[in-house]
Amino acid sequence: PKERGWLFSHIYNYQGFWIAPRQLQAVRACQQQFLAQDSDIILVTFPKSGTTWLKALVFALVNRMNYPISGKNHPLLFKNPHDLVPFLELKLYVDGQLPDFSSYTSPRLLSTHLTYGSLPKSVQDSQNKLVYLCRNPRDTFISLFHFANILKIENMGISSIEEMLDLFCKGVSFYGPFWNHVLDYWKESMEKPKKVLFLMYEEMKEQPEIQLKRLAEFLECPFSIEEENCGVVDEILRICSFENLSNLEVNKNENLSTGEKNKAFFRRGEVGDWKNYFTTEMVEKLNHIIEQKFQGSGIRFLYI
Ligand code: A3P
Protein backbone atom coordinates (compact mmCIF):
# COMPACT_ATOMS: atom_id res chain seq x y z
CA PRO A 1 0.00 0.00 0.00
CA LYS A 2 1.14 3.53 -0.91
CA GLU A 3 0.74 4.98 2.54
CA ARG A 4 3.39 2.65 3.89
CA GLY A 5 6.09 4.29 1.87
CA TRP A 6 8.50 3.70 -0.89
CA LEU A 7 9.63 0.26 0.23
CA PHE A 8 6.21 -1.24 -0.18
CA SER A 9 6.02 -0.30 -3.81
CA HIS A 10 9.47 -1.79 -4.31
CA ILE A 11 9.13 -5.03 -2.44
CA TYR A 12 6.95 -7.98 -3.25
CA ASN A 13 5.90 -10.99 -1.26
CA TYR A 14 6.63 -14.08 -3.30
CA GLN A 15 6.20 -17.60 -1.89
CA GLY A 16 6.23 -16.18 1.64
CA PHE A 17 9.37 -14.06 1.41
CA TRP A 18 10.03 -10.48 0.33
CA ILE A 19 11.80 -9.64 -2.85
CA ALA A 20 12.45 -6.71 -5.21
CA PRO A 21 10.09 -7.02 -8.17
CA ARG A 22 13.02 -6.65 -10.56
CA GLN A 23 14.47 -9.88 -9.16
CA LEU A 24 11.33 -11.88 -9.57
CA GLN A 25 12.14 -12.91 -13.12
CA ALA A 26 15.55 -14.17 -12.07
CA VAL A 27 14.09 -16.10 -9.12
CA ARG A 28 11.51 -17.74 -11.34
CA ALA A 29 14.10 -18.56 -14.01
CA CYS A 30 16.27 -20.14 -11.36
CA GLN A 31 13.41 -22.18 -9.91
CA GLN A 32 12.27 -23.39 -13.32
CA GLN A 33 15.55 -23.88 -15.13
CA PHE A 34 18.35 -24.63 -12.70
CA LEU A 35 19.43 -28.26 -12.79
CA ALA A 36 21.46 -29.21 -9.77
CA GLN A 37 24.31 -31.68 -9.94
CA ASP A 38 25.17 -33.98 -7.07
CA SER A 39 28.62 -32.40 -6.79
CA ASP A 40 27.29 -28.82 -6.50
CA ILE A 41 28.18 -26.76 -3.46
CA ILE A 42 25.60 -24.07 -2.80
CA LEU A 43 26.27 -21.33 -0.28
CA VAL A 44 23.15 -19.92 1.34
CA THR A 45 22.72 -16.78 3.42
CA PHE A 46 20.22 -14.22 4.52
CA PRO A 47 21.58 -10.94 3.05
CA LYS A 48 24.42 -9.33 5.05
CA SER A 49 25.24 -12.45 7.05
CA GLY A 50 28.78 -12.82 5.68
CA THR A 51 28.13 -14.17 2.18
CA THR A 52 31.28 -12.53 0.77
CA TRP A 53 33.46 -14.13 3.45
CA LEU A 54 31.89 -17.56 3.00
CA LYS A 55 32.37 -17.36 -0.77
CA ALA A 56 36.06 -16.55 -0.32
CA LEU A 57 36.60 -19.34 2.21
CA VAL A 58 34.86 -22.05 0.21
CA PHE A 59 36.52 -20.96 -3.03
CA ALA A 60 39.97 -21.06 -1.44
CA LEU A 61 39.24 -24.36 0.32
CA VAL A 62 37.82 -26.29 -2.60
CA ASN A 63 40.35 -25.00 -5.14
CA ARG A 64 43.45 -25.32 -2.99
CA MET A 65 44.99 -27.93 -5.32
CA ASN A 66 44.39 -25.87 -8.49
CA TYR A 67 45.35 -22.57 -6.89
CA PRO A 68 47.99 -22.96 -4.19
CA ILE A 69 46.88 -20.72 -1.40
CA SER A 70 50.09 -18.73 -1.07
CA GLY A 71 50.54 -18.36 -4.84
CA LYS A 72 50.88 -14.85 -6.24
CA ASN A 73 48.22 -15.52 -8.86
CA HIS A 74 45.47 -16.69 -6.56
CA PRO A 75 42.11 -15.55 -8.03
CA LEU A 76 41.05 -14.05 -4.70
CA LEU A 77 43.81 -11.48 -5.08
CA PHE A 78 42.31 -10.17 -8.32
CA LYS A 79 38.61 -10.89 -8.16
CA ASN A 80 35.87 -10.12 -5.69
CA PRO A 81 34.42 -13.34 -4.18
CA HIS A 82 31.03 -12.54 -5.77
CA ASP A 83 32.63 -12.76 -9.19
CA LEU A 84 34.12 -16.15 -8.32
CA VAL A 85 30.96 -17.66 -6.80
CA PRO A 86 27.90 -16.31 -8.62
CA PHE A 87 24.41 -15.99 -7.22
CA LEU A 88 21.84 -18.32 -8.75
CA GLU A 89 19.06 -15.77 -8.74
CA LEU A 90 20.43 -12.28 -8.40
CA LYS A 91 21.42 -11.29 -11.90
CA LEU A 92 19.00 -9.67 -14.25
CA TYR A 93 18.83 -12.26 -16.94
CA VAL A 94 18.38 -11.54 -20.61
CA ASP A 95 15.11 -12.99 -21.93
CA GLY A 96 14.44 -14.73 -18.62
CA GLN A 97 17.23 -17.21 -19.28
CA LEU A 98 19.48 -18.50 -16.56
CA PRO A 99 23.20 -18.16 -17.33
CA ASP A 100 24.80 -21.35 -18.58
CA PHE A 101 26.09 -22.84 -15.34
CA SER A 102 26.59 -26.20 -17.07
CA SER A 103 30.00 -25.13 -18.37
CA TYR A 104 31.36 -24.64 -14.84
CA THR A 105 33.89 -27.20 -13.70
CA SER A 106 32.87 -29.57 -10.96
CA PRO A 107 32.31 -29.03 -8.11
CA ARG A 108 30.34 -25.96 -9.11
CA LEU A 109 30.33 -23.25 -6.46
CA LEU A 110 27.13 -21.24 -6.48
CA SER A 111 25.20 -19.18 -3.99
CA THR A 112 21.72 -18.05 -3.17
CA HIS A 113 19.64 -16.05 -0.71
CA LEU A 114 16.53 -18.12 -1.46
CA THR A 115 14.54 -19.63 1.39
CA TYR A 116 14.72 -23.41 1.71
CA GLY A 117 11.17 -23.86 0.50
CA SER A 118 11.82 -21.78 -2.61
CA LEU A 119 15.00 -23.51 -3.75
CA PRO A 120 14.76 -25.08 -7.20
CA LYS A 121 13.31 -28.57 -6.81
CA SER A 122 16.43 -30.17 -8.24
CA VAL A 123 18.50 -28.63 -5.42
CA GLN A 124 16.20 -30.11 -2.82
CA ASP A 125 16.18 -33.51 -4.53
CA SER A 126 19.83 -34.02 -5.41
CA GLN A 127 22.81 -35.01 -3.29
CA ASN A 128 24.46 -31.58 -3.50
CA LYS A 129 25.72 -29.80 -0.41
CA LEU A 130 24.29 -26.63 1.09
CA VAL A 131 26.36 -24.47 3.42
CA TYR A 132 24.24 -22.03 5.41
CA LEU A 133 25.86 -19.09 7.19
CA CYS A 134 23.77 -17.40 9.86
CA ARG A 135 24.58 -14.16 11.70
CA ASN A 136 22.99 -12.67 14.79
CA PRO A 137 19.98 -10.55 13.87
CA ARG A 138 21.27 -7.30 15.43
CA ASP A 139 24.50 -7.20 13.42
CA THR A 140 22.73 -8.50 10.32
CA PHE A 141 20.22 -5.69 10.64
CA ILE A 142 22.89 -3.00 11.13
CA SER A 143 24.86 -4.31 8.18
CA LEU A 144 21.70 -4.21 6.09
CA PHE A 145 20.91 -0.72 7.27
CA HIS A 146 24.29 0.52 6.09
CA PHE A 147 24.07 -1.34 2.83
CA ALA A 148 20.62 0.01 2.14
CA ASN A 149 20.82 3.55 3.41
CA ILE A 150 24.29 4.84 3.94
CA LEU A 151 26.02 3.26 0.98
CA LYS A 152 22.96 3.88 -1.19
CA ILE A 153 23.54 0.62 -3.00
CA GLU A 154 19.91 -0.21 -2.99
CA ASN A 155 18.08 2.92 -2.03
CA MET A 156 15.15 1.45 -0.19
CA GLY A 157 13.85 4.87 0.69
CA ILE A 158 13.93 4.24 4.41
CA SER A 159 14.61 7.40 6.33
CA SER A 160 15.39 6.20 9.81
CA ILE A 161 16.89 3.20 11.51
CA GLU A 162 13.77 2.94 13.71
CA GLU A 163 11.52 2.72 10.68
CA MET A 164 13.68 0.06 9.11
CA LEU A 165 13.80 -1.93 12.37
CA ASP A 166 10.05 -1.72 12.59
CA LEU A 167 9.75 -3.33 9.16
CA PHE A 168 12.46 -5.90 9.95
CA CYS A 169 10.54 -6.92 13.08
CA LYS A 170 7.44 -7.34 10.93
CA GLY A 171 9.47 -9.65 8.69
CA VAL A 172 9.65 -7.11 5.87
CA SER A 173 13.18 -7.18 4.55
CA PHE A 174 14.65 -8.67 1.36
CA TYR A 175 14.36 -12.47 1.68
CA GLY A 176 12.73 -11.97 5.08
CA PRO A 177 11.25 -12.78 7.49
CA PHE A 178 14.72 -13.36 8.95
CA TRP A 179 13.40 -16.04 11.33
CA ASN A 180 11.75 -18.17 8.64
CA HIS A 181 14.92 -18.08 6.58
CA VAL A 182 17.17 -19.19 9.44
CA LEU A 183 14.81 -21.71 11.04
CA ASP A 184 14.07 -23.59 7.82
CA TYR A 185 17.76 -24.20 7.09
CA TRP A 186 18.43 -24.98 10.75
CA LYS A 187 15.76 -27.66 10.67
CA GLU A 188 17.15 -29.14 7.45
CA SER A 189 20.66 -29.19 8.91
CA MET A 190 19.33 -31.22 11.84
CA GLU A 191 17.40 -33.63 9.65
CA LYS A 192 19.95 -33.92 6.83
CA PRO A 193 23.38 -33.22 8.32
CA LYS A 194 25.17 -34.61 5.26
CA LYS A 195 23.33 -32.20 2.98
CA VAL A 196 23.11 -29.00 5.03
CA LEU A 197 25.84 -27.51 7.22
CA PHE A 198 24.74 -24.68 9.50
CA LEU A 199 27.51 -22.23 10.39
CA MET A 200 27.40 -19.11 12.53
CA TYR A 201 29.33 -15.94 11.70
CA GLU A 202 30.17 -15.31 15.34
CA GLU A 203 31.60 -18.82 15.80
CA MET A 204 33.66 -18.40 12.66
CA LYS A 205 35.09 -15.19 14.08
CA GLU A 206 35.74 -16.81 17.44
CA GLN A 207 37.14 -20.17 16.36
CA PRO A 208 38.03 -19.80 12.69
CA GLU A 209 40.30 -22.87 12.52
CA ILE A 210 37.75 -25.21 14.04
CA GLN A 211 34.98 -23.93 11.80
CA LEU A 212 37.09 -24.08 8.63
CA LYS A 213 38.04 -27.68 9.40
CA ARG A 214 34.38 -28.48 9.99
CA LEU A 215 33.57 -26.95 6.62
CA ALA A 216 36.34 -28.96 4.92
CA GLU A 217 35.09 -32.20 6.42
CA PHE A 218 31.51 -31.48 5.45
CA LEU A 219 32.61 -30.77 1.87
CA GLU A 220 34.59 -34.02 1.89
CA CYS A 221 37.93 -32.30 1.35
CA PRO A 222 39.45 -32.48 4.86
CA PHE A 223 42.91 -31.10 5.52
CA SER A 224 45.70 -33.66 5.60
CA ILE A 225 48.14 -33.65 8.51
CA GLU A 226 50.77 -32.45 6.06
CA GLU A 227 48.61 -29.50 5.04
CA GLU A 228 47.97 -28.62 8.64
CA ASN A 229 51.67 -28.77 9.42
CA CYS A 230 52.45 -26.54 6.43
CA GLY A 231 50.02 -23.90 7.68
CA VAL A 232 47.43 -24.24 4.87
CA VAL A 233 44.53 -23.70 7.28
CA ASP A 234 46.05 -20.46 8.58
CA GLU A 235 46.88 -19.28 5.07
CA ILE A 236 43.28 -19.76 3.89
CA LEU A 237 42.02 -17.85 6.91
CA ARG A 238 44.53 -15.10 6.30
CA ILE A 239 43.81 -14.61 2.61
CA CYS A 240 40.05 -14.60 3.32
CA SER A 241 40.26 -12.31 6.33
CA PHE A 242 38.47 -8.98 6.34
CA GLU A 243 41.80 -7.19 6.69
CA ASN A 244 43.31 -8.87 3.66
CA LEU A 245 40.32 -8.84 1.32
CA SER A 246 39.20 -5.31 2.11
CA ASN A 247 42.68 -3.93 1.43
CA LEU A 248 43.11 -5.48 -1.99
CA GLU A 249 43.04 -3.09 -4.91
CA VAL A 250 40.25 -5.05 -6.58
CA ASN A 251 38.01 -4.69 -3.53
CA LYS A 252 38.85 -1.05 -2.88
CA ASN A 253 38.40 0.43 -6.32
CA GLU A 254 36.66 -1.94 -8.70
CA ASN A 255 33.10 -2.95 -9.42
CA LEU A 256 31.43 -6.34 -9.69
CA SER A 257 30.51 -7.61 -13.14
CA THR A 258 26.91 -6.89 -12.04
CA GLY A 259 27.82 -3.25 -11.34
CA GLU A 260 27.93 -2.92 -7.55
CA LYS A 261 31.00 -1.40 -5.94
CA ASN A 262 33.19 -4.15 -4.47
CA LYS A 263 33.94 -2.09 -1.40
CA ALA A 264 30.26 -2.09 -0.46
CA PHE A 265 30.72 -5.67 0.76
CA PHE A 266 33.40 -4.74 3.28
CA ARG A 267 32.42 -2.42 6.09
CA ARG A 268 33.62 -3.48 9.56
CA GLY A 269 33.37 -7.25 9.57
CA GLU A 270 33.00 -7.51 13.35
CA VAL A 271 30.67 -8.95 15.93
CA GLY A 272 28.86 -6.41 18.11
CA ASP A 273 28.75 -3.31 15.92
CA TRP A 274 25.01 -3.18 16.76
CA LYS A 275 26.01 -1.63 20.10
CA ASN A 276 26.96 1.57 18.28
CA TYR A 277 23.41 1.96 16.94
CA PHE A 278 20.84 0.13 19.06
CA THR A 279 19.03 1.91 21.86
CA THR A 280 17.62 -0.10 24.76
CA GLU A 281 14.17 0.17 23.18
CA MET A 282 15.47 -1.18 19.90
CA VAL A 283 17.11 -4.15 21.63
CA GLU A 284 13.85 -4.89 23.43
CA LYS A 285 11.79 -4.60 20.29
CA LEU A 286 13.98 -6.99 18.30
CA ASN A 287 14.45 -9.38 21.24
CA HIS A 288 10.72 -9.66 21.64
CA ILE A 289 10.17 -11.11 18.18
CA ILE A 290 13.44 -13.07 18.05
CA GLU A 291 12.79 -14.79 21.38
CA GLN A 292 9.28 -15.62 20.36
CA LYS A 293 10.26 -17.06 16.99
CA PHE A 294 13.39 -18.94 18.07
CA GLN A 295 12.02 -20.29 21.33
CA GLY A 296 12.67 -24.02 21.62
CA SER A 297 14.67 -24.14 18.38
CA GLY A 298 18.03 -24.71 20.02
CA ILE A 299 19.59 -21.73 18.22
CA ARG A 300 21.46 -19.33 20.49
CA PHE A 301 22.71 -16.12 18.96
CA LEU A 302 25.98 -14.63 20.15
CA TYR A 303 25.88 -10.84 20.28
CA ILE A 304 29.32 -9.92 21.61
P1 A3P B 1 29.32 -5.35 8.38
O2 A3P B 1 28.41 -4.47 7.61
O3 A3P B 1 28.81 -5.64 9.75
O4 A3P B 1 30.72 -4.88 8.39
P5 A3P B 1 27.37 -10.07 2.90
O6 A3P B 1 28.68 -10.54 2.39
O7 A3P B 1 26.42 -11.18 3.21
O8 A3P B 1 26.80 -8.99 2.08
O9 A3P B 1 27.67 -9.47 4.36
C10 A3P B 1 28.45 -8.33 4.50
C11 A3P B 1 28.99 -8.29 5.91
O12 A3P B 1 30.09 -9.22 6.03
C13 A3P B 1 29.55 -6.93 6.24
O14 A3P B 1 29.36 -6.78 7.64
C15 A3P B 1 31.01 -7.10 5.87
O16 A3P B 1 31.87 -6.15 6.43
C17 A3P B 1 31.26 -8.50 6.41
N18 A3P B 1 32.44 -9.14 5.79
C19 A3P B 1 32.87 -9.04 4.51
N20 A3P B 1 33.99 -9.73 4.33
C21 A3P B 1 34.30 -10.28 5.52
C22 A3P B 1 35.38 -11.11 5.98
N23 A3P B 1 36.34 -11.48 5.16
N24 A3P B 1 35.37 -11.49 7.27
C25 A3P B 1 34.39 -11.11 8.10
N26 A3P B 1 33.35 -10.32 7.74
C27 A3P B 1 33.30 -9.92 6.46
Structure confidence by residue, pLDDT tens digits, 196-243: 999 999 999 999 999 999 999 999 999 999 999 999 999 999 999 999
Answer yes or no: is pLDDT of 8 > 90. Answer: no
pLDDT reported for residue 92: 57
Residue 73 alpha carbon to ligand 1 centre in Å? 24
Q: What pLDDT was estimated at residue 157? A: 54
Place 183 in a pLDDT band, splitting at 50, 70 and 90. Answer: very high
Mean pLDDT, residues 146-161? 63
pTM of the model: 0.95
Cα 200 to Cα 135, 208, 260, 303: the distances in Å are 6, 11, 26, 11
How many angstroms separate the Cα of 97 from the Cα of each of 25, 28, 40, 160?
9, 10, 20, 37
Residues 258 and 251 sit within 8 Å (Cβ to Cβ): no
Question: Which amino acids are annotated catalytic?
Answer: 113
Q: For strands 12-14 and 109-112, give the pairing.
A: unpaired
Q: Whose CA is nearest to atom 12 of ligand 1?
A: 50
Q: Is the pLDDT of residue 3 over 50?
A: no
- Verify whether ligand 1 is closer than 6 Å to residue 180 (CB atom): no
In the structure, what pLDDT confidence band is assigned to residue 153 with cuts at 50, 70 and 90? very low
Position 91 pLDDT exceeds 80: no
pLDDT > 90 in the chain, percent: 75
Predicted confidence (pLDDT) at residue 19 exceeds the cutoff of 70: yes
The strand pairing partners of 93, in sequence order, are none
Q: Give the pLDDT confidence score for residue 160 in this predicted structure.
A: 80
**238 Cβ below 6 A of ligand 1:** no
8 A C-beta contact, residue 174 and residue 18: yes
Angle between helices 178-191 and 280-294 (to 10 degrees): 40
Query: Ligand 1 within 6 A of 167 CB?
Result: no
Rounded-to-integer distance, Cα 276 and Cα 97, Å? 43
